[in-house]
Amino acid sequence: MHSGWRLVTELGLGVLRARGADARTFLQGQLSNDTTAVRSGQLQLSGYHSPQGRAIALLRLTALAADDLLAILPLELVPVVVARLSRFVLRAKVRITDDSAQWQILGFRGELPRLPASALSLPYGGARQLVLIQKTDPAALEVGETGSRDDWVAADIAAGLPQVFLATSEAFVAQMLNLDLLGGIALDKGCYTGQEIIARAHYRGQVKRRMQHFVSELPCALSPGQSGMLADGRSFKVVAAVPLAAGRCEFLAVAPAAPGADEPEAASGTQPIAVQQLPLPYELPFARP
C-alpha cells in the first residue's frame, strides 16, 4: 500500500438513485437514518436492515434535488438493494434505479484538483472526499500519486468506518457495526424496517459484540465475512481487512469486549490468531453486565 496517495480510481462502489415526489418519505420508512435531513454536498450514513435488524447494506446518501437522492454503496450490492426496495414501492411516487453506469466515483485525500462543474464533491471520513463525475462529462484530472482500493479500505479501517458486502449482508445488527456511534441511526424518527430490534438493543443495552480494530502479529489472510478465533479466546467475524507488509493483516471485526463475554461463534477452523488491538477514534459502549 502507498502512504502518499491522493487519488483512488477503483473503489468498487456504485450508485442507487431514488427520485420522485415520495423519494424521501419512502426511504424514511426503509432506512435507519433521517432521510428528511439529507442535503446536497453532504453524505449521510444510513443502514438498510432486515426485519431482524441486520444490515443488508450501508448507504451513504446525498441529494441532487429535494426529490432526487443518490446512495453510494458497494457495486455488488446495488442490484440487491434496488430489487428489495422496489418490492415495497407499491403506490409511492418514487422510482428506485441502479445508476452506477452513469457515474465515475473517485476517492481523494487532501486538496481537490479542479473538477468539472457537474461533479459532486462529498466530504468523507475526515480528510477524504468522494467525488462523483457524470460519465457524459469526463475529466482529465491533474493529481499526484494514485492509490489502490486497499489504500482506501485501510483509511476506513483506521477511521473505524464499517462497510457491508455481499459476504456480510445480514450478518450484523446495526450496533455491531457501531452505526449508533457514527450517526447512522436516528432514534427519534418513526418506524422503519428493523427499527424494533435496533431500538431494543439501544435502550436495553444488549449489544455484547461490537466492531473493533486489530492487526495480526503473524502472517495471515482475512476477508470480509470470515470467522475465526483470537488468541485470547474471543470469536470474531471480519468486517473489512487489508494486507500489510510481511503477510500480516489489519482488520475491523465484530467481537466481544473481553474473553468470556459471550458464547463464541463457530470459528473458521484455523488456528487462533495472535493480534494487537488498536484504538478506534471513538469509545465503544459495550452491553451492561
pLDDT of residue 2: 62
Residue predicted with more confidence, 288 or 119:
119
* H helix and E strand count, the chain: 4, 15
Question: Over the chain, what is the mean pLDDT?
Answer: 92
Superfamily of the domain at 7-159: Aminomethyltransferase beta-barrel domains (3.30.70.1400)
pLDDT of residue 108: 94
Query: What are the residues whose beta carbons fall under 8 Å from the beta carbon of 250, sequence distance 6 or more?
Result: 154, 157, 213, 214, 215, 216, 241, 242, 244, 278
The upper half-sphere exposure of residue 192, i.e. CA atoms within 13 Å in the direction of its Cβ, equals 29
Domain 167-278 has CATH 2.40.30.160: yes
With a cut of 90, say whether residue 263 has pLDDT above it: no
Residue predicted with more confidence, 232 or 142:
232
Instruction: Give residue-wise pLDDT tens across range 60-107.
Output: 999 999 999 999 999 999 999 999 999 999 889 999 999 999 999 999
CA distance 178 to 184: 8
Average pLDDT over residues 219-236: 95
Average pLDDT over residues 180-187: 96
pLDDT of residue 103: 95
Domain definitions of the chain by residue range: 7-159, 167-278
Average pLDDT over residues 152-180: 97
pLDDT of residue 115: 86
Q: Are strands 146-147 and 7-8 parallel, antiparallel or unpaired?
A: parallel
pLDDT of residue 29: 96
- What is the reported pTM? 0.93
For residues 104 and 27, the answer to whether their CB atoms sit within 8 Å is no
Average pLDDT over residues 101-115: 91
pLDDT of residue 268: 47
**Percent of the chain scored above 70 by pLDDT?**
92
**Percent of the chain scored above 90 by pLDDT?**
78
What is the pLDDT confidence band of residue 266, given thresholds at 50, 70 and 90?
A: very low
Q: What is the CA radius of gyration of the chain?
A: 19
With a cut of 90, say whether residue 16 has pLDDT above it: yes
pLDDT of residue 277: 96
What is the pLDDT confidence band of residue 261, given thresholds at 50, 70 and 90?
A: low
DSSP 8-state class, residue 123: E
Average pLDDT over residues 7-36: 97
Instruction: Give residue-wise pLDDT tens across range 23-39.
Output: 999 999 999 999 999 99
Residue 113: C-alpha distances to residues 107, 121, 141, 146, 182 (Å): 12, 11, 7, 13, 28
With a cut of 60, say whether residue 289 has pLDDT above it: no
